[in-house]
């Protein structure tokens, strides 16, 4: 089997009223996408300082970018670096209500566990997520609480 | 630079047992000549001197290649400094590689729990002359100070191989608790395995894969830390299979796609004897697998297993470190390296030609292929 399929799904933003349309136009040579494609994890702090990196990370998280971990990393970095941005809650809330974006929710939740302020924003969302994801989120929260 | 004195002092060496083991030994008695023994195993416990240095002497028979797995029962750090042939010549010296921009084996770096030297690595490393070889190693405690008068457990696997350019490897794929229940994961894993098998078959290695379950939290620790249950599961097999663990994610990062414990990893049963794969990192935002994502999953299995069998990236991201294989092209910039090596299975990242389409990474050089065929766990 060879990987040659272009899965050209449009940007599906779900039906949540909280969903915000990404405002950053992305191209395949976007430097943040390139950095996030690396097989070894790139520290979020090492990402290039774009004029509006938060919006760029949000756009990447929402976009259909291959490989799949690029969007997850973008979601994770968004939560790690920009949880105090005024747009943050509006951006991430749909990830915890839309079953098709629950992986982004898990990435943001995991990233938030190192920062109590961010966790306090995200945990209530995670506790109400669709059932398919809620168990995963709960396990992640329980593991964090059990860690020494 | 070495932080510690070189191995020059003899230390107490205690040979505990010599055990023979052959995967062929279970075959029925047909009245024909017994098959050639392909794998034998020896275990030793040696003791470090007061500089934390130790020697392992082992006798190689004609035509054998070896793997030495060094374990510290106290979970400190252990590694190889020198490998000396029966004539007293140095076959491998950590000093030759410590400042190098080429990477040959992590045995020289040392590791916690277990360190693995598979020899030879490359064709130019030659074959093993029959006779008594010596591995000189170093053991450090958990604060990285020399561990004096400490035991090191050495397991030596000797492989004879009638067909060095072809082989088989037994893979045990183990699902962590609850992972099988996730929609579409089993189907995606099996499709990924089929692609992985296809890739390895093209390099002369037949993978036989069996599936099982393991009672391990699917939020996996990183493979350098490992899990006791990995070693316990492997201890139930007598043919030294490769263990692939399928979990939700690795080390608390929902985006680490897979990880090999070491380059190479141990063929024996230890807590770090595994390749881990995250299903979530491949399934992405929606937790469902597209065909493209299954392709990347199969390549992840092949790539991480490639590390475990001894291959480094042909060039590291940053373009300043390379593998030690002569026939992987030289390059020193992103565009140049992507052009020359982007289709190589061991390239450090997928090269994507559009937002949604990444090119297959399904190539290995002959030199790389030789490395995985020489891994002692591959017959
Ligand atoms: Zn790699």
Q: How does pLDDT run across B169-185, given as a tens digit for each residue?
A: 999 999 999 999 998 99
Q: Separation of B308 CA from ligand 1 center, angstroms?
A: 10
Nearest CA in chain B to A62: B285
Mean per-residue pLDDT, A138-148: 86
Chain B hits for A27, Cβ within 8 Å: 355
Mutate one of A39, A77, A119, A134 to test the B interface: name it (highest B CB count within 10 A).
Answer: A39
Identify the pLDDT of residue B20.
32
Are B283 and A99 an interchain contact pair (Cβ–Cβ within 8 Å)? no
pLDDT interval class at A19 (50, 70, 90): low
Contacts of B211 (CB under 8 A, 6+ apart): B172, B173, B174, B175
The continuous run of DSSP H or E covering A138 comes out as: helix A131-146
B364 has a pLDDT exceeding 60: yes
Q: Quick check: B1 pLDDT over 50?
A: no
Whether residue B333 has pLDDT greater than 80:
yes
pLDDT at A148: 74
A60 → chain B, closest CA residue: B355
Say what the pLDDT of residue B24 is.
35
Say which of A8, A75, A102 has its CB closest to residue B287.
A102
Looking at residue B322, its pLDDT comes to 96
In chain B the domains, ranked by start, together with CATH numbers, are 8-160 (2.60.120.380), 167-374 (3.40.390.10)
Q: B-chain residues within 8 Å CB-CB of A107?
A: 254-255
Query: Scanning the structure block, which residue is given the tokens 């010549």?
Result: B89
The C-alpha atoms of residue B222 and residue B31 are separated, in whole angstroms, by: 49
pLDDT of residue B11: 33
DSSP string, A75-102: HHHHHHH-TTSTTHHHHHGGGGT-GGGH
| Residue where the block lists tokens 């062929």 | B24
pLDDT per position as a tens digit, B84-132: 999 999 999 999 999 999 999 999 998 989 999 999 999 999 999 999 9
**CB of B257 within 8 A of CB of B299?**
no
pLDDT classification of B37: cutoffs 50, 70, 90: low
Share of chain B above pLDDT 70, in %: 90
Write out the H or E segment, with its range, that includes residue B286: none
Average pLDDT, integer, range B220-235: 95
User: Residue A6: which pLDDT band, with cuts at 50, 70 and 90?
Assistant: very low
Nearest to B310 by CA among B352, B363, B367: B367
CB contact under 8 A, B282 and A40: no
Rounded alpha-carbon distances, angstroms, from residue A80 to A109, A111, A122, B219: 10, 6, 12, 20
% of chain A with per-residue pLDDT over 90: 55
A40-50 tens-digit pLDDT? 667 899 887 87
Q: Helices A102-112 and A131-146 meet at what angle, rounded to 10?
A: 10
Confidence of residue B163 (pLDDT cuts 50, 70, 90): confident
**Is the pLDDT reported for residue A18 higher than 50?**
no
Chain A contact for B183 (CB, 8 A cutoff): yes
**Which of A3, A41, A103 is opposite residue B358, by nearest beta carbon?**
A3
Top-confidence residue, B25 or B320: B320
For residue A21, the model assigns a pLDDT of 73
- Determine the pLDDT at residue B32: 57
| Pick from B233, B188, B243: nearest CA to B210 | B243
Name the β-bridge partners of B363. Answer: B344
DSSP B145: S
Q: Where are the domains of chain A?
A: 8-146
Of the two residues B307 and B26, the one the predictor is more confident about is B307
Q: A123: distance to nearest CA of chain B, Å?
A: 16
Given B219, B249, B354, which is nearest A28 (Cβ)?
A: B354
**Average pLDDT of the residues in B354-378:** 95
Nearest to B302 by CA among B240, B242, B237: B242
CB pair distance less than 8 Å for B357 and A5: yes
Mean pLDDT, chain B, integer: 89
**What residue in B sits closest to A43 (Cα-Cα)?**
B253
CA of B318 to the centre of ligand 1 (A): 14
Q: 3-state DSSP helix/strand/coil percent for chain A, to nearest 5?
A: 55, 0, 45
State residue B251's pLDDT score: 86
Which of A6, A46, A68 is most worth mutating to test chain B (most B CB atoms within 10 A of its CB)?
A68
Lowest-pLDDT range of B178-182, B243-247, B309-313, B316-320: B316-320
Closest-CA residue to B317 (of A80, A49, A2, A46) = A46
pLDDT, average across residues B263-279 = 97
The model's pTM: 0.87
C-alpha to C-alpha distances, B150 to B45, B53, B147, nearest whole angstrom: 10, 9, 6
Pairwise CA distance, residues B229 & B247, whole Å: 14
Distance (Å) from CA B348 to ligand 1 centroid: 5
The C-alpha atoms of residue B232 and residue B215 are separated, in whole angstroms, by: 11
């Amino acid at each position: 089997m060879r990987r040659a399929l272009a899965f050209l799904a449009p940007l599906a933003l779900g039906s949540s009223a909280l969903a915000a349309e990404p405002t950053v136009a992305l191209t395949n040579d976007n430097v943040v996408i390139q950095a996030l494609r690396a097989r070894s994890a790139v520290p979020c702090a090492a990402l290039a300082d774009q004029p509006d990196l938060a919006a760029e990370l949000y756009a990447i998280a929402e976009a259909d970018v291959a490989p799949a971990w690029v969007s997850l990393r973008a979601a994770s970095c968004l939560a790690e670096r920009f949880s105090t941005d005024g747009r943050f809650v509006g951006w991430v809330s749909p990830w915890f209500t839309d079953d098709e974006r629950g992986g982004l929710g898990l990435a943001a939740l995991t990233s938030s566990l190192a920062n109590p302020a961010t966790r306090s924003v995200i945990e209530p969302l995670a506790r109400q997520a669709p059932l398919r994801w809620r168990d995963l989120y709960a396990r992640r929260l329980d593991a964090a609480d059990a860690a020494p | 630079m070495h932080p510690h004195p070189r191995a020059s002092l003899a230390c107490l060496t205690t040979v505990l047992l010599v055990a023979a083991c052959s995967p062929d030994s279970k075959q029925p008695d047909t009245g024909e000549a017994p098959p050639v023994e392909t794998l034998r195993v020896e275990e030793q416990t040696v003791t470090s001197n007061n500089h934390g240095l130790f020697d392992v002497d082992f006798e190689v028979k004609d035509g054998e290649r070896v793997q030495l797995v060094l374990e510290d029962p106290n979970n400190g750090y252990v590694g190889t400094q020198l490998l000396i042939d029966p004539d007293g010549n140095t076959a491998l010296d950590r000093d030759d590689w410590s400042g190098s921009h080429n990477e040959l084996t992590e045995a020289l770096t040392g590791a916690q729990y277990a360190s693995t030297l598979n020899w030879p690595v490359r064709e130019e490393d030659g074959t093993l002359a029959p006779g008594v070889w010596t591995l000189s190693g170093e053991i450090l405690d958990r604060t990285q100070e020399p561990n004096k008068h400490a035991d090191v457990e050495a397991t030596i696997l000797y492989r004879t191989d009638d067909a060095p350019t072809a082989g088989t490897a037994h893979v045990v794929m183990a699902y962590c608790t609850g992972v099988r229940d996730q929609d579409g994961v089993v189907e995606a894993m099996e499709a990924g395995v089929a692609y992985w098998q296809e890739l390895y078959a093209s390099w002369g290695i037949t993978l036989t894969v069996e599936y099982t379950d393991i009672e391990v939290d699917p939020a996996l620790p990183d493979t350098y830390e490992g899990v006791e249950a990995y070693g316990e599961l492997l201890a139930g097999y007598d043919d030294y299979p490769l263990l692939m663990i399928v979990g939700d994610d690795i080390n608390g990062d929902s985006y680490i796609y897979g990880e090999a414990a070491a380059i190479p990893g141990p063929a024996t049963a230890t807590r770090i004897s595994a390749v881990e794969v995250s299903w979530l990192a491949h399934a992405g935002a929606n937790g469902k697998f597209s065909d493209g994502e299954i392709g990347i999953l199969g390549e992840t299995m092949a790539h991480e297993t490639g590390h475990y069998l001894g291959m480094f990236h042909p060039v590291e991201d940053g373009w300043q470190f390379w593998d030690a294989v002569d026939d992987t092209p030289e390059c020193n910039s992103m565009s140049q390296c992507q052009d020359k090596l982007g289709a190589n299975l061991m390239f450090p990242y997928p090269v994507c030609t559009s937002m949604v389409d990444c090119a297959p990474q399904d190539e290995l050089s002959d030199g790389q292929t030789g490395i995985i065929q020489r891994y002692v766990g591959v017959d």
